[in-house]
Amino acid sequence: MRNVILTNEQGDNLGEMEIWEAHKGNGRLHKAFSVLIFTPDRTKVLLQKRADWKLFGLHWANSCCSHPKPKEDPLANATKRLTEEMGIDCELTYCGAFTYHAPDPNGKGSEYEYDMVFMGIAEENVTITPDSKEVADYRWVTIDDLKKEENIAPWFPRVLDIALAYHG
């Protein structure tokens, strides 16, 4: 099984725990990352509908998300995971981090994460080859239309705010 990095609200490493143990019940605070891919004019963002088996399954969320591997660089992990999950290879930029806690609405556990936000730029016609085990669906959406979306993962608005603030 895979381990996640336990952390405090400042992002200091506090050890490791098996991934599903860290998400049980109210969860244990651990490191994660979220990736947002924007079009070059930054008017659209690529959304992913999470696979049904995941916490917040079938909710729309950022382009890609996962957990950095212990003893590895989070930026390198985020870049690799974007390629694995969505088939996109692009340069990513670190935008900031925040902590959130959100119990899954279907009782699967909780997300309690110190989330590092990365963003990248890709053309809207980029070839996307999602991993069907991880991704139920995907689509490009305008920033304005995001305000109307109701089935959004609870961390997504903060991820979007951080990425948009980074680029003014």
59 C-beta neighbours (distance < 10 Å), count: 21
d(CA 100, CA 154): 9
- Residues of the domain holding 31: 3-166
Which CATH number covers residue 35?
Answer: 3.90.79.10
Q: Is the pLDDT of residue 168 over 70?
A: no
pTM of the full predicted structure? 0.95
Alpha helices in 9-58 (DSSP H): 19-23
Task: Give whole-number Cα distances, 157 to 19, 77, 87, in Å.
Answer: 24, 22, 24
How confident is residue 167, by pLDDT bands cut at 50, 70 and 90? low
Summarize the confidence of residues 93-115 as an average pLDDT.
96
Both structure tokens of 34: 């979220």
Query: What does the pLDDT read at residue 147?
Result: 80
Report the domain count for the chain: 1
Residues classed as catalytic: 65, 113
d(CA 101, CA 168): 27
